[in-house]
Amino acid sequence: MSTTNRSLVDRTWSKVTESQVWRSIFRHGYPDTPLNQSLVMMGNVFLHLHPVKVSRKAMKITYTWCLGGLSFFLFLVLTITGVFLMFYFVPDQTIAYANIQQIQSAVAFGNLVRNMHRWAAHLMVVTVTLHMIRVFYHGAYKPPREFNWVIGVALFLTTLLLSFTGYLLPWDQIGYWAITVGSNMASYAPIFGTAAHNFLTGQPVGVGQPTLIRFYTLHVIGLPLAAAILMAVHFWRIRKDGGEAGPPPPSRREIEQARARQAAEREPVASLS
Ligand code: HEM
């Protein structure tokens, strides 16, 4: 590029970056100092979701297996496929079973979407459990992340409840009897047993229409809303706690051993003669 062209590009570039429009969107210069890096992260709607600094090792996929990310992805898949199913499913005990059969046989892509919803639900229970184990194994429940661990426990329970409430909706034998057993188990709880049973089933004996509508409302509105709010707090907390907890720094002994190894490698090989 000739000198004249370059200076033209430079002048245009500085005109753009110094314009009021540009400066109203990008309020800070190039993030080349720690202060500017923080300001850029805080002042941008997309970047502010991330912490200013993250440990390089904690970013490795082999450290988290992205299990939290996978759980979130599955939650999105479940929400989208769930909305699709809501267009056809009617929570009425006389037609719910037939509804599901129709979704699978008569609705375009119905079988695919229903199976995606079912598989994603099973997988989410697996990924959330593995994510919890990973967090525990890495000691990421310790301060300052103890509050996020508590939010995580609430998310775990919400995931299990979503799975439990969804199980009844097809109104098939396995779902019907599973919820019958589950709600009967609740009635054995001390003091609140009967109240817990009636809260679940909506009637004093057995599982019926009041149970179905109750489980449906919780499954499509109450629990997903609770999960979404908890996830927002969970992600916000991850950012405030400085991103994922990285592996612990090497101990003094490990550092000394590494130094000794390096020194030994540098030493000349003794002559054999
Ligand atoms: C719907 C369920 C959940 C979702 C969507 C979710 C999402 C996430 C994501 C995306 C991360 C970032 C790191 C990663 O991907 O592993 C994370 C970190 C974390 N999660 Fe979860 N999570 C869920 C459930 C849980 C549960 C059940 C617990 C524990 C009881 C938990 C506790 C934590 C903690 C303490 C961190 C910070 C980990 C660290 O600093 O290394 N989460 N979560």
- Dump pLDDT digits (tens) for 226-239: 999 999 999 999 98
- Say which amino acid occupies 9: V
- The yes-or-no verdict on residue 270 having pLDDT over 80 is no
Other CB atoms within 10 Å distance of the CB of residue 128: 24
Range 160-170 average pLDDT: 98
CA 48: distance to chain centroid? 18
- The residue whose CA has the least distance to atom 14 of ligand 1 is 68
Q: Tell me how far the alpha carbon of residue 189 lies from the centroid of ligand 1, in angstroms.
A: 30
Per the domain annotation, does 3 fall within a domain?
A: no
pLDDT at 213: 98
DSSP 191: T
Residue 128 C-alpha to ligand 1 middle, in angstroms?
8
Q: Answer whether residue 257 is part of any domain.
A: no
Whole-angstrom Cα distance, residue 114 to residue 104? Answer: 7
Cα distance between residue 216 and residue 210, in whole Å:
10
- Residue 77 placed within a domain: yes
Distance CA 63, CA 199 (A): 42
| Ligand 1 residue neighbourhood (C-beta within 6 Å) | 64, 66-69, 71-72, 75, 128, 131-132, 135, 138, 140-141, 145, 148-149, 152-153, 155-156, 159, 231, 234, 238, 244-245
Does 231 fall in a domain?
Answer: yes
Tell which one of 53, 159, 236, 238 to mutate to probe ligand 1, the residue whose CB is within 8 A of the most ligand atoms. 238
Q: Encode pLDDT of 73-82 as tens digits.
A: 999 999 999 9
Lowest mean per-residue pLDDT among 49-63, 167-181, 192-206: 49-63
Give the residue, by CA position, lying nearest to ligand 1 atom 7: 68
> 10 Å Cβ neighbour count for 55?
16
Give the tens place of pLDDT for each residue, 211-224. Answer: 999 999 999 999 99
Could you identify the atom of ligand 1 that is nearest to the CA of residue 245? Answer: 40
Evaluate whether residue 113 is within a structural domain: yes
In a domain, 128, yes or no: yes
The rounded mean pLDDT for the chain is: 92
Residue 271, pLDDT above cutoff 60? no
What domain range is 187 assigned to?
Answer: 58-241
Shortest-distance Cα residue to atom 8 of ligand 1:
68
CA 141 to chain CA mean position, Å? 16
- Alpha helices by DSSP H, listed for 87-139, are 96-105, 110-137
Looking at the domain assignment, is residue 33 inside a domain?
Answer: no
Q: What is the CATH number of the domain that holds 146?
A: 1.20.810.10
Cα angle value 213/216/222 (rounded, 5°) = 115
**CA distance linking residue 90 with residue 99, whole number of Å:** 7
Task: Judge contact between 11 and 3, C-beta under 8 A.
Answer: no
The model's pTM is 0.83
225 within domain boundaries:
yes
Could you give the number of structural domains in the chain?
1
Q: How far is the CA of 152 from the centre of ligand 1 (A)?
A: 6
